[in-house]
């Protein structure tokens, strides 16, 4: 997966849309070329350690925020456009030493799991 991401704090609405909460355990779901390239196969477990968005998407969104502020207007759906399919969890896969940002368009590549205590 891409490494060009920046951290962000999601709002509560993001969790209603399926973003896993910090500390959640997740597993790779099925077969995905990007995951397999990193040695992650179906069922491989990891832990959500944070949230990220693409660095370029973040930059464009901040430009939109600044433009709206200068124009004295509220943000519109168009202003948020760069973030669509960019925001997602950051996961530390078991057995790996680096965190992995999973952008929104790849959210189907994993599933949240409830491990037995």
Domain ranges of the chain: 5-106
Share of the chain above pLDDT 70, in %: 93
Cα dihedral 50, 106, 21, 8 in deg (nearest 10): 40
- The structure's pTM equals 0.83
Give residue 3's pLDDT band: very low, low, confident or very high (50, 70, 90). low
Task: Copy the structure tokens of residue 22.
Answer: 């910090």
Task: Give the 3-state secondary structure of residue 65.
Answer: helix
Residue 116's pLDDT is 61
Give residue 72's pLDDT band: very low, low, confident or very high (50, 70, 90). very high
Gap between the terminal Cα atoms of the chain = 30
Residue 40's pLDDT is 82
Residue 1's pLDDT is 47
């Amino acid at each position: 997966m891409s490494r060009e991401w920046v951290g962000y704090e999601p709002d509560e609405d993001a969790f209603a849309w399926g973003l896993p909460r910090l500390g959640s355990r997740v597993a790779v779901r099925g077969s995905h070329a990007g995951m397999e390239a990193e040695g992650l196969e179906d069922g491989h477990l990891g832990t959500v350690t944070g949230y990220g968005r693409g660095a370029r998407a973040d930059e464009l969104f901040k430009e939109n925020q600044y433009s709206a502020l200068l124009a004295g207007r509220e943000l519109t759906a168009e202003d948020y456009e760069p973030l669509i399919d960019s925001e997602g969890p950051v996961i530390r896969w078991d057995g790996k030493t680096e965190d992995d940002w999973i952008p929104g368009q790849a959210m189907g590549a994993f599933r949240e799991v409830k491990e037995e205590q």
